[in-house]
Amino acid sequence: MNFIPVNEPFLPAKAKIYLNQCIDTGWISSEGQFVRDFEEKFAYTVSRQYGIAVCNGSAALEVAVAALDIGAGDEVILPTFTIISCAAAIVRAGATPVVIDADSETWNMDVSQIESAITPRTKAIMVVHIYGLPVDMDAVVAIANKYQLAIIEDAAEAHGQNYHQRPCGSFGDISTFSFYANKHVTTGEGGMLLTDDSRLAEQCRSLRNLCFQKTQRFIHEKLGWNFRMSNLQAAVGIAQLESIPAITERKREIGRQYTQQLESISGLQLPLPKTDYAKNIYWVYGVVLSNDRSETAQEVMSVLAERNIGTRPFFWPMHQQPAFSASGLFENIHCPVAERLACKGFYLPSGTALIDEDVEIVSRTLKEVLA
Ligand SMILES: *Cc1c(COP(=O)(O)O)cnc(C)c1O
C-alpha cells in the first residue's frame, strides 16, 4: 500500500503558465507584477483594502506586531493552543504574551476567558482560527472595542472561511495569512498582511522591505526585515485564487466523509461540523482520544505510520514550550483543555489532493487500530 501523506497540495495547471511567464520575462524578484496583483486580488477575496505579501505567515505576524507598535511593557492576549509563530512574534518584539485556554469543542481560544486576562498593559488580542472553525469574533470585537485594544487576526488556516457572512481575515486591525504548502492557497512558502488602514498598510510595506526610505533609500528610521515575496511565489498563488470556493467545498466534503466513517468509534472526539456562526472547513481533520482511552496520540500515530498513514500531532501549548519557560515566561500557568488536546489530539491526512479512496483507507485503518 502506498503511503498516504498528511498533506499533498493540489495545484492548478495555470500555475505553470504564470511561472513560465516569470521565467520568460526575467521578473522573478518581489518587483514583479504578480506580487502586486496577488496582493490586490487576495485582499479583495477577504473584503480588505490593502494586502502586503510577505515570505511566510510567521513573518506576517512579526510585521503585524511591529506595525502596531507593540513592544516592551505591552501585553498581548493569545490562545495557548496555537503555533509558536504567534507567541514568538510577541516575545521578539519585547512584549509579553498572555495565554488563554482552548474551548474543548471548537479548539479555538475560549473567548469567555479574555476579559479577565486584560490588564492596563494589554495592547492587543491576537486571535487564531484553529483547524477550520473561526473564533467567536463578535465576542472578541466587543471586548476589543470596550477596552480599546487592537485585534491581530491570524487567519492562516481560514482561507475561504466566514464568520457569519463575513470573511475570516476581515476582522483584524491587521489580519495575516500563510500560503505554506498545507494551506488552502499555497505559494510553497508565503504569507500576507491585510488591513483597511492606509497608515498601517504603509508601515507593513516598509517593515517587510528593510524600511528603505523613498527619498533617501539607504537611510533607515526604523529596523525592518527583508520579508518580501517573490514574483514566482505570487504567480503560483494567483493561479489558485478563483479556486478558493471549490477548495473550501472539497475540504468540507473530505470532512463530511471522515465524520461519516469515524463517528461509530467510541472514545474519539471528532471536529464539530458547525457552530452557530460557521460551518467547519476542516483545514485539517483533527481527532482527540477521550480520557478513558489509555493510548496517547503519539502511540496511535506511530501505529498509523507503520500502516503507511501520515499524521501530525496537535499544537503543543505555548505555556509549556521550553523555549519560553527557559526565560521564566508562563510560570504557574495551567490550561487544562489545551494540555489535554496536546496529549490526545492529532490530525489525519487532509490535503486538497486527498482522494475519496484515501479517506476510506485512513478511516478503516484508524477504526482497526482503535478497535
Ligand atoms: C501555518 C501557520 C502559521 C505560519 O505560517 P508559515 O507560513 O508556515 O510561517 C501561522 N499561524 C497559523 C495559525 C498557521 O497555521
Nearest protein CA to atom 6 of ligand 1, as residue: 57
Residues 261, 237 share a domain: no
Pocket test for ligand 1, best of 61, 83, 84 (most atoms within 8 A of CB): 83
Distance 218 CA to ligand 1 centre (A): 31
List strand residue ranges (DSSP E) for 196-302, in order: 268-269, 285-289
Rounded distance between C-alpha atoms, residue 146 and residue 87, angstroms: 24
* Full residue range of the structural domain in which residue 161 is found: 13-242
Residues 130, 25 share a domain: yes
Per residue in 87-140, pLDDT (tens digit) is 999 999 999 999 999 999 999 999 999 999 999 999 999 999 999 999 999 999
Residues 194, 151 share a domain: yes
Residues 178, 31 share a domain: yes
Closest atom of ligand 1 relative to the 189 alpha carbon: 7
Closest atom of ligand 1 relative to the 180 alpha carbon: 7
| Nearest of 169, 364, 366 to residue 286 by alpha carbon | 366
Residues 253, 235 share a domain: no
- Computed over every residue of the chain, the mean pLDDT equals 97
Distance 371 CA to ligand 1 centre (A): 34
Q: Is 7 among the domain residues?
A: no
Q: Is 349 among the domain residues?
A: yes
Residues 276, 234 share a domain: no
Residue where a domain stops, chosen among 211, 242, 273: 242
Ligand 1 pocket, 169 CB below 6 A?
no
Per residue in 308-350, pLDDT (tens digit) is 999 999 999 999 999 999 999 999 999 999 999 999 999 999 9
Residues 347, 278 share a domain: yes
Distance 190 CA to ligand 1 centre (A): 9
Distance 147 CA to ligand 1 centre (A): 28
Q: Is it the case that residue 359 has pLDDT exceeding 90? A: yes
Nearest protein CA to atom 5 of ligand 1, as residue: 57
Distance 79 CA to ligand 1 centre (A): 14
Residue where a domain stops, chosen among 193, 218, 242: 242
Distance 348 CA to ligand 1 centre (A): 18
- Structural domain total, the chain: 2
Q: Is 112 among the domain residues?
A: yes
Nearest protein CA to atom 2 of ligand 1, as residue: 156
pLDDT value, residue 366:
97
Q: Is 339 among the domain residues?
A: yes
pLDDT value, residue 72:
98
Per residue in 221-274, pLDDT (tens digit) is 999 999 999 999 999 999 999 999 999 999 999 999 999 999 999 999 999 999
Per residue in 34-66, pLDDT (tens digit) is 999 999 999 999 999 999 999 999 999 999 999
Pocket test for ligand 1, best of 7, 109, 180, 283 (most atoms within 8 A of CB): 180
Residues 255, 192 share a domain: no
Ligand 1 pocket, 128 CB below 6 A?
yes
Residues 353, 262 share a domain: yes
CB-CB contact of 82 with 128 (8 Å):
yes
Residue where a domain stops, chosen among 212, 242, 272: 242
Pocket test for ligand 1, best of 81, 128, 157, 347 (most atoms within 8 A of CB): 157
pLDDT value, residue 352:
87
Distance 58 CA to ligand 1 centre (A): 6
Ligand 1 pocket, 85 CB below 6 A?
yes
Distance 155 CA to ligand 1 centre (A): 9
Nearest protein CA to atom 13 of ligand 1, as residue: 156
The answer to whether the predicted template modeling score (pTM) of the entire model surpasses 0.95 is yes
CA angle 154, 157, 160 (to 5 degrees): 105
Distance 57 CA to ligand 1 centre (A): 5
Residues 220, 251 share a domain: no
CATH number at residue 53: 3.40.640.10
Using only C-alpha atoms, the chain has a radius of gyration, in whole angstroms, of 21
Nearest protein CA to atom 14 of ligand 1, as residue: 156
CB-CB contact of 278 with 135 (8 Å):
no
Q: Is 4 among the domain residues?
A: no
Q: Is 223 among the domain residues?
A: yes
List strand residue ranges (DSSP E) for the chain, in order: 50-54, 75-79, 96-100, 122-128, 150-154, 162-163, 166-167, 174-178, 191-195, 268-269, 285-289, 312-313, 345-348
Q: 215: which 3 cell numbers?
A: 527619498
Q: Is 36 among the domain residues?
A: yes
Instruction: Give residue 94's region: left, alpha or beta (phi > 0; psi -120 to 50).
Output: left
Closest atom of ligand 1 relative to the 82 alpha carbon: 13
Q: 232: which 3 cell numbers?
A: 514566482
Distance 284 CA to ligand 1 centre (A): 13
Residues 319, 172 share a domain: no
Residues 132, 115 share a domain: yes
Q: Is 226 among the domain residues?
A: yes
pLDDT value, residue 1:
67
Distance 156 CA to ligand 1 centre (A): 5
